[in-house]
Structure 1
Amino acid sequence: MHLIELLKDWPCTIRGNWRDVTIDSVTEHPNRLKKNCLFIARKGAHHDGIESIEEALDKGAAAIVIDRSVSESTLSKWSHRGAAVVTVPDCKKFLSFSSAQLSGFPSEELTVIAVTGTNGKTTVTHFIGQLLSQFGIKTAVVGTTGCYIDGEKVDEEIPSLTTPTAEYLHPLLRRCIDRGVTHVAIEASSLGLEMERLAHCRVSVGVFLNIGTDHFEEHGGRENYIKAKKKLCSLSERIVVNCEDTECMGIVKDIELPIHLFGRNVAGGCMPSEKLIGSLPPGEHNRLNAMAAASVVKLLGFPEIEIFSAFRLLTLPEGRMQLVEHEGRRVFIDYAHTPDALSAALQAVTSLNPRKLICVFGCGGDRDKEKRPVMGEIAESYCDTIVLTSDNPRSEHPLAIVQHILTGTKNPASISVIMDRKSAIHQAISASKPDDIVLIAGKGHETSQIIGTHEVRMSDLAEAMIALNQLETFLE
């Protein structure tokens, strides 16, 4: 695409050569720069794109985009190297627009469902995909665990983010169309919404699940967190909202859009019988997740009786209440890393009537410190034994995080502290007996752990399976 064609509907000023410039791709990442690329020099939390402009020019970038003032001499230096220098009001929004434009605005050809909430986004998007597949609808699910089409994971170059950045998202949507996909269910994180990753993605249905306490610090407080979530309203044509969550209902109360409600016993105005619903994955939260998915699919025009009848076929995504067991010992792997999610997971396994309940968990470093004692208190209220360990400590000392969790507990006799996560998992499982349940919470599908600035291999599921196999060998 010619640069001038890309810019014709966008407020900007241009310096340097622009008349014959052709753009093949767009990026904000220095490591993805190549010839004829449009480089967006966005200022991020840890890196200022302006620092990479010389590298971009060295690699053949045809144009660079900035949204901040720089000196006249700097502008001249860049433009004299043969690249166009474009100044726009907001690099985040321009990245979204240009990515969508270069991909031919693929969301216009799709039915896009965007799901936001502190907890449950992954499960609900997968449930939506599974239900639509029952009606023969080719559906993609995009989010924390990757990209799936009709339930099969596809090999796509996308970062491990809940909501892919725009430069990945729009090309991905175009490739989904090329594969025959007509519907896409995508996780819309608060950070993704704040960073305008969906700004030029047409959303047919926006879904609000719940508002919890995660990510407050990253947004600079609760008010900013909710403000980021509310952005989904301005992107959506219709809204589906959890009528049992007062925060979600508050977000949509003044929205001039069609609003459809769901709850544990209602989906899109329908109150199905328990006989019709049949079996569901364990936990009241998964009943609520299923109702959210059913509300969306019903809103898209599919018959409610067939939707609810398909509930018996729903399966949880990887790392969500994922069960491995041996000789009566059940081990659940779950992504729960917030107070609400941990409470829901513990409630779900408690409903399975274990002889004894053991929970292994920790809390991430450099994130929402106020949730730590709350999660300690919640775990203690459900569990016979708690094993506290490290999660993703990042730059914090793992033991300091655990000590913070302990401030919410009252019975130290029921708590063990084993800082090495692998050892914690193995010891918890080796200490279990037949009819016990071990819940390993916090990392779910993840296969690495962030310690300091290093990422090390670590899979809760793999370690649980090894521990159970070792237990089997020991028993023999």
Structure 2
Amino acid sequence: MLLSELLKDWPCTILQGSIRLNINGITESSKRVKEKYVFVAKKGVLADGTSFIEEAICNGAKTLVIDRTNIDLTHIPSNITVVLVPDSSLFISYGSAKLSGDPAEVLQIIGVTGTNGKTTVSHFIGQLLNKLGHKTAVIGTTGLYIDGKLMETIQDSMTTMPAEQFHPILRRCINQQVTHIVLEASSIGLSTNRLAHCPLTVGVFLNIGMDHYAEHGGRQPYIEAKKLLTSLADQLVINEDDEICRAIGGGMSETPIYFSSQHINGRQQQAPLFPNQGQHNEMNARAAICAVMALGYSLRAIRPHLSDLRLPTGRLEKYEEAGVEVYVDYAHTPDALQAVLQALSDRSRRLITVFGCGGERDREKRPQMGAVAAHYSSHVILTSDNPRKEDPSQIIIDILTGMAGFSTPIDILVDRHLAIQYAISQAQPGEIVLIAGKGHEQIQQIGNQTTHFCDMEEVKKSFISRNT
């Protein structure tokens, strides 16, 4: 595409150079720049793209896009085109869509947002659509799936990937005859405009709880980020049991489709549609059903396929050996941990819970998660999650402040490998072990190091050690 073609419908000022250039791609990462690429020097949370302009030019960038006027351009060669735009994050979203041929315009796309349950609901919707005869892709935390088959993992396990990666994936999906896309829409993805040029057929609001407050600067900015989904979607599906979601729905000019623990789209439905998987997964199933109904299907057409629904990897993922049931789950918020523990503790058996909290994330949720674990568990083993650059011991101290006053036995093993091994060694036949927080993740971040770590692999290795 000619740069002039890309810029013709976008407000901009050409600061130097020519727009009669052929361009081959667009990126905000200097490391991903290739010959004749547009490099968008976006200001990020940890780094400013303008610091990487020289590297981008060395790698082949012929066009630079900036959104600030206080940048020194004197060191930029005269044959490099420099474009000033009002908002670089919006521009990279627009440019990525344009260079991919606006693939979102020809797809049926369902976007799912919520503090908890996005991955499960996305996969449920994908499974139902596949059963109803549609070739469907699911894009989110656990990767890209087409008709239930994992095609590729997502770099850095991003819930909502950057626009420069997202739109080419949509184009590849179209080339493989995919007609429906289900995607996880995170608060970060929405607030940074990653989905700004992805019109949605349906937007789903699951719940709004405590998570990512630190990254957004507080609770209300987090809620406002979630609400951005309303401007992208033609039709909304909303959890009426969630007070904040209900308020969002009440402000819409067109009435959303509502679901709750008592009804689906206005029709009473108290009997479980996805039994024996906990109330949170019952609500996840109801959300998925309503999303498919928003596409024109009746509950009667959907119901025969509900028995085929399967939880995705790392969501109440079960392993059983020697009479011990072990569950690996991604629960990493107070609400999610409570939902999973409620589902497991209903079985009236001894329950051992292993969990920690992520570093450099919301500290306020740590004591809450400690209290939830102590309330529902027979025994709690505190350990590391992804401490990142925080002191793992300090994170555990924060969790412990919420556990005061409970008589639940607590052990502390900072090393997650040892904590899982200890939990398995302590469990007796008929008991349950929950390993919470990381779910599907295959890495652990400690300090500046990222190493391979999979909870389910550790569980299986622990049984081998137990049996020797």
Common fold, TM-score beyond 0.5? yes
- Asked if 1:386 is matched to 2:386, the reply is no
Residue range with higher mean Cα deviation, 45-54 or 249-258: 249-258
- Are the counterparts in 2 of residues 278 and 309 from structure 1 also a CA contact under 8 Å? no
Select the residue among 337, 354, 357 that pairs with 1:360: 354
SS in 2 for 1:62: strand
- TM-score scaled to structure 1, two decimals? 0.95
- Asked if 1:320 is matched to 2:315, the reply is yes
SS in 2 for 1:75: coil
- Asked if 1:304 is matched to 2:299, the reply is yes
User: Which residue does 1:164 correspond to in 2?
Assistant: 161
Distance 1:396 1:158 in 2: 23
Select the residue among 305, 330, 333 that pairs with 1:338: 333
Structure 1 gap segments, 5+ residues each: none
User: Which residue does 2:91 correspond to in 1?
Assistant: 94
Percent of matched pairs sharing the same residue: 48
SS in 2 for 1:154: strand
Select the residue among 363, 367, 372 that pairs with 1:369: 363
Shift of 1:308: 2.2
User: Which residue does 1:427 correspond to in 2?
Assistant: 422
User: Which residue does 2:13 correspond to in 1?
Assistant: 13
- TM-score scaled to structure 2, two decimals? 0.97
Distance 2:153 2:442 in 1: 18
AA in 2 matched with 1:154:
M
User: Which residue does 1:147 correspond to in 2?
Assistant: 144
Shift of 1:291: 0.1
Distance 1:175 1:257 in 2: 33
Distance 2:325 2:415 in 1: 22
Distance 1:267 1:179 in 2: 34
Q: Sort the Cα spacing of 1:156 and 1:442 in 2 relative to 1 into closer, same or farther, 3 A.
A: closer
Mapping for residues 71-86 of structure 1, pairs under 5 Å: 74-78=72-76, 80=78, 82-86=79-83
Distance 2:124 2:408 in 1: 40
Shift of 1:270: 3.3
| CA deviation string 1:391-446 (max 9, x = no partner) | 11111110111011111112466000011000000100110001100000000000
Shift of 1:97: 0.2
- Are the counterparts in 1 of residues 110 and 200 from structure 2 also a CA contact under 8 Å? yes
Shift of 1:159: 4.5
Shift of 1:458: 1.1
Q: Sort the Cα spacing of 1:77 and 1:397 in 2 relative to 1 into closer, same or farther, 3 A.
A: closer
User: Which residue does 1:181 correspond to in 2?
Assistant: 178
Shift of 1:280: 3.4
Shift of 1:55: 1.4
Structure 2 gap segments, 5+ residues each: none
Total equivalences in the alignment: 467
Shift of 1:456: 1.4
- Asked if 1:26 is matched to 2:20, the reply is no
- Are the counterparts in 1 of residues 374 and 408 from structure 2 also a CA contact under 8 Å? no
AA in 2 matched with 1:25:
G
Shift of 1:99: 0.2
SS in 1 for 2:245: helix
Distance 2:448 2:286 in 1: 40
Select the residue among 260, 264, 280 that pairs with 1:263: 260
Distance 1:293 1:176 in 2: 21
AA in 1 matched with 2:34:
K
User: Which residue does 1:222 correspond to in 2?
Assistant: 219
AA in 1 matched with 2:40:
I
Distance 1:281 1:456 in 2: 35
SS in 1 for 2:26: strand
Distance 2:171 2:267 in 1: 35
Shift of 1:15: 2.4
Distance 1:108 1:413 in 2: 54
Shift of 1:269: 2.7
Shift of 1:281: 5.2
- Are the counterparts in 2 of residues 395 and 451 from structure 1 also a CA contact under 8 Å? yes
Shift of 1:272: 4.1
Distance 2:188 2:218 in 1: 13
Select the residue among 343, 350, 370 that pairs with 1:348: 343
